[in-house]
């Protein structure tokens, strides 16, 4: 969206009004061409980011009872389908929720080819070079930051799309923006099922990790902006939210932390709204506080959940 505006603005500055009139068409074509290159690059970066994300999650993921590399060797079709779900899961889920065709996104053959190439490199590159490159911390930080840029744009696009379909469906806007931002995390149970893993005791809605939560809050903010209840323009909001997400995520990744900057605010809001006891930040929000959980089976379940929560929060990045 704002690429177009930016490019048009640049062209507007560069060319005087008169020249613009005469050379309108030429400039229009050049502008379109540049945009398409830029968008193509952007899409490639998006897919690369998603795939690298997929790789980090899957490659040495302890949740898979059989290692993922073995899954990829034994049943390449299942592994490739999972990779596609990781890449395009948010589009698929949003299409399903809006009543569209789930396979709609698969018509873009170049995106599929790029994603498949990255999938192939991740799992079958000699000496495991590709994985080592992308997992190298500086490269990883750049990809993580780019991924958050992409996420913000996807949330904004999702909210806008839902606004187009349902003008007053504020909840629909929030849901579609959320789904677009969180992607495959929301259907992780079914993605795991494809790989033969089934862990029903946890899902991304029960134990939200930082990116999922941030997507939810972002979707709410963009919905408020779309409903003209926030006194900022869309571009400003995209810019601010991108900066916030990228810096937070880069810092969290650099520190190998799975915390969340929302802990304090959430703690207070939950205390006010739901009467949760104030206190230990993350522990307070995720784990059951000892005085509230009276029965012992619940407790053991929680302790079990504690172990999976850590893997979970890693997974849902």
Binding stretches for its own copies (CB under 8 A)? 65-67, 70-78, 81, 95-104, 106-107, 109, 112, 123-124, 165-166, 168-172, 175-176, 189, 193-198, 200-203, 205-208, 216, 270, 273-276, 285-286, 288, 292-293, 295, 297-298, 301-302, 305
Decide whether 4 or 292 has the Cβ nearer to its own copies.
292
95 touches 105 (CB < 8 A): yes
The distance of closest approach from Cβ of residue 128 to its own copies in the complex, given in angstroms and rounded to an integer, is 11
The distance of closest approach from Cβ of residue 197 to its own copies in the complex, given in angstroms and rounded to an integer, is 7
Which ranges of 60-136 would DSSP assign to H, the alpha helix?
68-74, 76-97, 109-124, 129-135
Which ranges of 103-233 would DSSP assign to H, the alpha helix?
109-124, 129-135, 137-165, 170-182, 188-194, 210-226
Q: Encoding tokens for residue 297? A: 């089976």
The distance of closest approach from Cβ of residue 168 to its own copies in the complex, given in angstroms and rounded to an integer, is 6
Instruction: Find the length of the chain.
Output: 317
Decide whether 15 or 189 has the Cβ nearer to its own copies.
189
Decide whether 149 or 183 has the Cβ nearer to its own copies.
183
Decide whether 27 or 287 has the Cβ nearer to its own copies.
287
253 touches 314 (CB < 8 A): no
Decide whether 222 or 246 has the Cβ nearer to its own copies.
222
Would you tell me how many other CB atoms lie within 10 Å of the CB of residue 188?
Answer: 25
Question: Rounded to an integer, what distance in angstroms lies between the CA atom of residue 216 and that of residue 211?
Answer: 9
Helix axes 137-165, 24-59, angle to 10 degrees: 120
The distance of closest approach from Cβ of residue 193 to its own copies in the complex, given in angstroms and rounded to an integer, is 6
The distance of closest approach from Cβ of residue 239 to its own copies in the complex, given in angstroms and rounded to an integer, is 27
The distance of closest approach from Cβ of residue 213 to its own copies in the complex, given in angstroms and rounded to an integer, is 9
Decide whether 34 or 197 has the Cβ nearer to its own copies.
197
Q: Which residue has the tokens 């969290």?
A: 252
- Give the max Cα distance, the chain: 79
Q: What angle do CA 107, 122, 76 make, to 5 degrees?
A: 65
């Amino acid at each position: 969206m704002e690429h177009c505006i930016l490019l048009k603005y640049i062209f507007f500055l560069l060319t005087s009004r008169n020249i613009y009139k005469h050379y309108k068409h030429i400039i229009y074509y050049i502008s379109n061409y540049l945009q398409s290159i830029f968008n193509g690059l952007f899409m490639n970066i998006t897919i690369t980011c998603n795939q690298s994300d997929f790789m980090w999650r899957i490659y040495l993921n302890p949740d898979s009872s059989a290692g993922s590399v073995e899954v990829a060797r034994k049943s390449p079709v299942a592994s490739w389908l999972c990779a596609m779900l990781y890449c395009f899961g948010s589009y698929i889920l949003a299409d399903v929720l809006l009543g569209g065709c789930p396979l709609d996104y698969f018509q873009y053959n170049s995106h599929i080819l790029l994603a498949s190439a990255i999938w192939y490199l991740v799992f079958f590159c000699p000496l495991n070079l590709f994985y080592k490159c992308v997992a190298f911390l500086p490269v990883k930080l750049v990809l993580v930051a780019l991924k958050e840029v992409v996420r913000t744009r996807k949330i904004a696009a999702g909210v806008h799309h839902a606004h187009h379909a349902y003008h007053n469906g504020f909840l629909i806007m929030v849901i579609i923006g959320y789904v677009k931002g969180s992607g495959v995390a929301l259907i992780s149970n079914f993605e795991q099922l494809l790989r033969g893993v089934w862990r029903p005791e946890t899902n991304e809605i029960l134990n939200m990790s930082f990116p999922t939560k941030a997507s939810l809050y972002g979707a709410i903010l963009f919905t408020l902006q779309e409903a003209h209840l926030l006194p900022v323009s869309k571009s400003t909001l995209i810019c601010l939210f991108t900066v916030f997400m990228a810096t937070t995520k880069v810092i969290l990744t650099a520190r190998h932390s799975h915390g969340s900057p929302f802990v304090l605010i959430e703690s207070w809001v939950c205390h006010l709204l739901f009467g949760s006891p104030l206190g230990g930040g993350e522990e307070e929000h995720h784990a059951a506080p000892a005085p509230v959980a009276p029965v012992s089976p619940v407790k053991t379940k929680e302790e079990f959940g504690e172990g999976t929560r850590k893997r979970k929060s890693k997974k849902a990045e």
